[in-house]
Amino acid sequence: MDSYLSDLVPIIIVGLSLGSLFGLVGLAYTVIINATQLVNFGQGDFAMVGVAVCWALIAKLGLPLWVAFPLAVVAGGAMGFITNAIIVTPLLKKDVHPFYPILGTMSVGTIAAGAVGIFTGFYWMPIEHFLGNEPLKVGGIPMDTQGLLIIGTTVAIVTAYWYLLHKTRLGLALRATGFNREVSLLAGIQVGKMASLSFVISGIIAAIAGVLCAPFSAFTATDGMILGINGFIALIVGGWGNPYAALLGGVLVGMIRALIVGYISSAHAELATFLVLMVVLTIKPQGLFAGFMMPKTMNSAR
Amino acid sequence: MWRNRKRDLMIICGVALIGALLPLGVADFFRYLVVLVSIYGIAALGLNIFMGYCGQINMGSAGFFCIGAYVPTMLQVKYELHYLIGFPLAILFSLLVAWLLSYPLLRLKGHAMAIGTLSFGMAVYLIAERFPELTGGADGITVPAMTIPGVEVGDKFYYYLILACFLFSYLGCYFLMDSRIGRALKAIRDDEDAALALGINIDQYKRFAWLVNSALMSVAGSLFAQQAGFLSPSTFALWTSISVLVMICVGGLGTNLGSVLGAAIMTLLPYILVSIQEYIMLTQGIILFCVLRFMPDGIVGTLPKLIRRNGRSKQAVAGSGEVAL
């Protein structure tokens, strides 16, 4: 019993960092959903592109991390911009079925994954721990510095996003676009630019998430999809179109996963994630924390 | 309507005849390609009924493909149950799974349904990979060859078996979509509320389309296992679901012919375009991108508009005129 408890703190830290990672990807989805009501199925591949750029700059060109990281983030943003420009906007203009732009984002993601895969031969793209491999010891309990970094970054990004969304005119325009496209257009909001901006922000957040988790897991060209799915699960478990609910959903999923890895078996952790999703979809399809911290009007914007 | 049908049936019979005579004249590799196209054609027909006709989203079809492949194989390996018993059992099992899943999944709409079905597909894949005692695990498993007394079970036998299954599925889908059920499914796709107002039992018809989808995917899986001779869980990962989805989008959602054409194109193009496995993902991504961007109605929806033909293609256009999903 004693060993169970002493294991608990590191497991909680792992769960929190994993959860904030999923929540961060879920937030990246939510940014686009809030502005355009679209799900970007290439989200994970945005993260993968960030990792690939960061890895290529460090391993191939020998640049230091503090140069490569911002460039990778820029690449993620560019990826978002390109996706919106070459497929999402043209398809929305054609007035096809809503699922087509989503498939379009997936096709861009697949092209990116395929291209990076050819470049890397579908092998790992390893990135060192940012702050060294030595775990931080607090009161005798070892803590992974990368995990703490992820938690900290997530809190910072969510706070920044909250500030952007609720305290600036730009955020108001972004929210209005997602709430009602036509009325926003009448009010003089440049709806197209807002959609584009949301894709760029989303790409940036995804790239940050990807690069942060790359030292944890051996990232290959096709792993972006997996990260994307986990983020989407976080989003659905938490609540549709609500960034804070996505974060909470991510933490819940990450915790469950860490507890299963810690106490049962690592082989069944992924399976459990999908089972949790199925259960949530069965009992509460709108998400567990759907109304969390959101004004009532935003919820009706589904 | 009837004249069209007569002509269509004659075309199908012609294709069947050509298919039956093919092995006499062509190389083994070509026969292998026909088999592959038939297998994926069956899968695409199944997914098309649920997505193209009924307008729902299924991103986890590989789950049923996996069940169809593993159930008869494991029954043969563990209990030495003959395949001719195993195949129907696999279909029954995937119908049962689909029926159970239909209660949570079919209530969902849009993205929630996409992620729900996707997670089902991933769950089946993970079960196949992480439970070695059940499925042979990540190392894969060899599928024992079928034995029937008095019949030589070789490449030709599989060719005819798979071709027969394919033609049977195609005819089934063809008649189904001309029937009352097909019209009800299309009505649900076009406008759910209007369909409800017309007295169509939406839940029942959605469930029906979902069950047909699962059954056809499972048939395709069983045939795939027999044809491949070796099963590895990675074959049934997310990518398979997506590539079947790409097939029906390329061919044109909501047309049987389109599904088969899409299956043919997406199966054959990698063989024609690239010889290296690593390029396939990029190729498929580019094809999907180009189809969505430049001809969202798919091949069957776009080509007839270009060449202005009558008859069958016109009917096909009528089916896919509004590309509702």
Q: What does the pLDDT read at residue B40?
A: 94
Searching chain A, which residue's CA lies closest to the CA of residue B131?
Answer: A267
What is the percent of chain A with per-residue pLDDT over 90, rounded to a whole number? 32
Write b or e for each residue in B148-184: b if 16 or more Cβ atoms lie within 10 A of its Cβ, otherwise e: eeeeeeeeeebbebbbebbbebbbebbebbeeebbeb
Q: How confident is the model at residue B165 (pLDDT cuts 50, 70, 90)?
A: very high
Pair of tokens at residue A93: 């203009």
Pair of tokens at residue B241: 């679901």
Mean pLDDT, residues A191-197: 91
Among positive and negative, which fits the CA dihedral A200, A203, A204, A205?
positive
Contacts 24+ apart (CB under 8 A), B81-84: B83/B146, B83/B222, B83/B226, B84/B148
ipTM confidence:
0.86
Residue A80 DSSP SS3: helix
Contact by Cβ (8 Å): A209, A223: no
Quick check: A43 pLDDT over 50? yes
Searching chain B, which residue's CA lies closest to the CA of residue A221?
Answer: B281
pLDDT in tens, A209-249: 999 988 887 788 888 888 998 999 999 898 887 888 889 99
Q: Is A103 on the interface with B (CB under 8 A)?
A: yes
The verdict on a CB contact (< 8 Å) between A111 and B286 is yes
Residue A61 DSSP SS3: coil
Quick check: A44 pLDDT over 80? yes
Q: What does the pLDDT read at residue B10?
A: 83
| Apex A298 CA angle, A296 and A299, nearest 5 | 70
The verdict on a CB contact (< 8 Å) between B122 and A270 is yes
Quick check: B1 pLDDT over 60? no
Q: Which of A114, A229, A233 sits opposite B285 (nearest CB)?
A: A114
Give the Cα separation of B241 and B47 in Å (integer): 10
Mean pLDDT, residues A164-169: 88
Give the Cα separation of B141 and B234 in Å (integer): 12
pLDDT in tens, A246-283: 899 999 999 999 999 888 887 788 888 888 888 888 88
DSSP-assigned letters across all residues of B191-260: -HHHHHHTT--HHHHHHHHHHHHHHHHHHHHHHHHHHHSEE-GGGGSHHHHHHHHHHHHHH-TT-HHHHH
**Nearest-CA neighbor of B135 among B125, B146, B145?**
B125
The verdict on a CB contact (< 8 Å) between A275 and B123 is yes
Q: What does the pLDDT read at residue A69?
A: 92
How far is CA B193 from each of CA A115, A158, A216, B7, B203, rounded to the nearest angstrom?
Answer: 43, 39, 48, 35, 12
Q: What does the pLDDT read at residue A294?
A: 66
Contact by Cβ (8 Å): A285, B108: yes
Cβ contacts below 8 Å, chain A against chain B, sum to 122
The one-letter amino acid at A117: G
Residues of A with CB below 8 A from B293's CB? 86-87, 90-91, 104
For chain A, give the mean pLDDT.
86
How far apart are the CA of B252 and the nearest CA of chain A, in angstroms? 12
Sequence-distant (6+) residues with CB within 8 A of B290 are: none
Give the Cα separation of B118 and B242 in Å (integer): 10
Among positive and negative, which fits the CA dihedral A177, A182, A184, A188?
positive
Q: What does the pLDDT read at residue B323?
A: 36
Q: Which of A115, A222, A271 sits opposite B126 (nearest CB)?
A: A271
Quick check: B2 pLDDT over 60? no
The verdict on a CB contact (< 8 Å) between A107 and B288 is yes
Mean pLDDT, residues B102-115: 85
Q: What does the pLDDT read at residue B324?
A: 32
- Which position has the token pair 């983030």? A73
Give the Cα separation of B302 and B265 in Å (integer): 15
For chain B, give the mean pLDDT.
84
Give the Cα separation of B232 and B221 in Å (integer): 12
pLDDT in tens, B284-309: 888 889 988 888 888 887 777 776 55
Rg (CA), chain B: 19
What residue spans define the domains of chain B? 2-237
List, in sequence order, every residue forming a beta bridge with A199; answer none if it has no partner. Answer: none
Q: Which of B111, B278, B293 sits opposite A122 (nearest CB)?
A: B278
Quick check: A149 pLDDT over 60? yes
Task: Give the count of beta carbons closer than 10 Å to the beta carbon of residue A84.
Answer: 29
What is the percent of chain B with per-residue pLDDT over 90, rounded to a whole number? 30
Sequence-distant (6+) residues with CB within 8 A of A6 are: none
Of the spans B214-218, B276-280, B289-293, which averages the highest pLDDT? B214-218
Range 170-199 of A in CB contact (< 8 A) with B: none
Give the Cα separation of A299 and B50 in Å (integer): 30
Searching chain B, which residue's CA lies closest to the CA of residue A88?
Answer: B293
Give the Cα separation of A108 and A119 in Å (integer): 17
The one-letter amino acid at B81: L
Domain A2-299 has CATH 1.10.3470: yes
Within chain B, residue ranges assigned H as helices are 2-25, 28-48, 61-79, 83-105, 110-130, 132-135, 155-178, 180-190, 192-197, 202-228, 238-251, 256-273, 280-294, 298-307, 312-320
Quick check: A56 pLDDT over 70? yes
The verdict on a CB contact (< 8 Å) between B126 and A274 is yes
Residues of A with CB below 8 A from B127's CB? 271
The verdict on a CB contact (< 8 Å) between A274 and B119 is yes
Interface probe with A: pick from B113, B189, B280, B281, most Cβ of A within 10 Å? B281
Q: Calculate the dihedral angle through the C-alpha atoms of A91, A92, A98, A100, rounding to the nearest 10 degrees.
A: 10
Quick check: B252 pLDDT over 80? yes
Give the Cα separation of B176 and B186 in Å (integer): 12
Q: Which of B118, B282, B324 sits opposite A118 (nearest CB)?
A: B282
Range 198-237 of A in CB contact (< 8 A) with B: 222, 225, 229, 232-233, 236
Give the Cα separation of B126 and B113 in Å (integer): 20
Quick check: B280 pLDDT over 50? yes
Query: What backbone torsions phi and psi does residue A64 show, to the nearest 5 degrees?
Result: -75, 160
Residue A141 DSSP SS3: strand
Mean pLDDT, residues B242-250: 88
Searching chain B, which residue's CA lies closest to the CA of residue A102?
Answer: B111
Q: Which of B238, B280, B296 sits opposite A96 (nearest CB)?
A: B296
Residue B283 DSSP SS3: helix
The verdict on a CB contact (< 8 Å) between A91 and B293 is yes
Please classify residue A83 by burial: count the beta carbons closer than 10 Å to its beta carbon, then call 0-12 exposed, 13-18 middle and 19+ buried: buried
pLDDT in tens, B19-66: 877 777 777 788 888 899 999 999 999 999 999 888 888 988 999 999
